[in-house]
Structure 1
Amino acid sequence: MVEGDAFDLRDAAAGRDEILKALAEIVKDALPKNDQQTFQASVRDESGHLAYTATVTMTGLWHAPYTT
């Protein structure tokens, strides 16, 4: 999904379920690429008002003597 993707769902709770599943897939595929990433998805109602937002932040940190 990218900004502007839209789906017709029965309610905001169904939208929440969908974006949480989608974020899990996106994060799984993206993690090997970078140690600092933030992913966000939102649910809007039929009027365009925000109903729910989920954010996943991943921060990786190497420790000495393994610094890169």
Structure 2
Amino acid sequence: MPRYYIDSSDGSFSHIDQDGVELTGDEAARYLALDALPDMVREVLPDGDQREFAVRVRDAGGRVIYSASLTLTGAWRDGGDEEDGRTSEL
């Protein structure tokens, strides 16, 4: 099976995968990279509401074959529903 390297960045810390993982092919590597993004967001939530998370997949030759990013933008809002403090619209 081919070896893939999944590099990641949370906007302030980057990790370059030195070990890699053997997967069945490019689609499996893409899935693994995309699956990592929500976990990355959960890990840094206490650090703030503005962050860009990114992953890239390299093949065994070091060529980047896939990349994806997820942007977190959060903000407190004034107002809301009078009954319970929540807004009724997104």
TM normalised by structure 1 equals 0.75
Paired amino acid for 2:76: W
- In structure 2, stretches of 5+ residues that fail to align are 1-7, 9-13, 80-90
- State the 1:10 CA deviation: 2.1
Task: Tell me the C-alpha RMSD between the 2 structures.
Answer: 1.9
Q: How does 1:20-39 map to 2 (within 5 A)?
A: 20-39=34-53
The residue matched to 2:57 in structure 1 has which SS?
A: strand
Looking at secondary structure, tell me which structure has more strand per residue: 2
Q: Look at both structures and tell me which one has the larger radius of gyration over its CA atoms.
A: 2
Of 1-10 and 23-32, the range deviating more from structure 2: 1-10
- State the 1:29 CA deviation: 2.5
Map of 2:5 onto structure 1: none
Map of 1:8 onto structure 2: 22
Measure the CA separation in 1 of the matches of 2:22 and 2:40.
Answer: 20
Measure the CA separation in 1 of the matches of 2:54 and 2:63.
Answer: 16
TM normalised by structure 2 equals 0.60
- State the 1:19 CA deviation: 1.1
Paired amino acid for 1:58: L
**Do the aligned residues in 2 keep the contact of 1:12 with 1:44 (CA within 8 Å)?**
no
